[in-house]
Amino acid sequence: MGKMVRILNTLLVLFMCIDLIADLPPISKEDFEKDYYSLQDEINAQIYRIEGSRFGISIKDSRVGKPSTVAIKNMKMLSSSDKYALQVLDKSKKEIFMIGLGDPFYIHAQHIDFEDRDFFGGYVDAELEIALPFEADVAYFILFSQEDKFLKKINEIKIK
């Protein structure tokens, strides 16, 4: 008798799942992208253009407006694969965001017949565009380098 109850319960759950799946409206890639970009057009943000190198950063420009796709993509959490991080602090030096930057100051180059070289690139100056929520009380940016999951402070700049 217990085996029959389990079979009936399994069939009941299976039919309920099929019914739920059948009621979902189809979402096309075009609809998803349209909704994503229309949402992006409605958002106002604080946008900072930051110039930097592996030795430090400085603010080139700041404005309030609609963020670009690049600025939105730059807003990612710090991970162990990021070589550099940008910490955003408020006036009382409390952390608002910790953004993983990857390795924006190193350029990789590949060239035929140079495969046996020790390195394929070098350090360069880079320009970053960061979009932060309009309501965020941003006062400081701190650039960190990350090695073996330890953060080392490179420089700090005051915004306001």
Q: Residue 36: pLDDT above 70?
A: no
Question: What value does the mean pLDDT take over residues 5-21?
Answer: 71
For 33, list phi and psi in degrees, rounded to 5: -65, -40
Are 49 and 37 contained in the same domain? no
Are 54 and 29 contained in the same domain? no
What's the pLDDT at 49? 93
Are 109 and 139 contained in the same domain? yes
Are 61 and 126 contained in the same domain? yes
Are 150 and 137 contained in the same domain? yes
Of 37-46, 53-62, 81-90, least confident by mean pLDDT is 37-46
The reply to whether the predicted model has a pTM over 0.75 is no
Whole-angstrom distance, CA of residue 128 vs CA of residue 76: 13
CB 88 within 8 A of CB 141: yes
Its domain, for residue 79, covers 45-158
C-alpha count within 13 angstroms, C-beta hemisphere, residue 111? 8
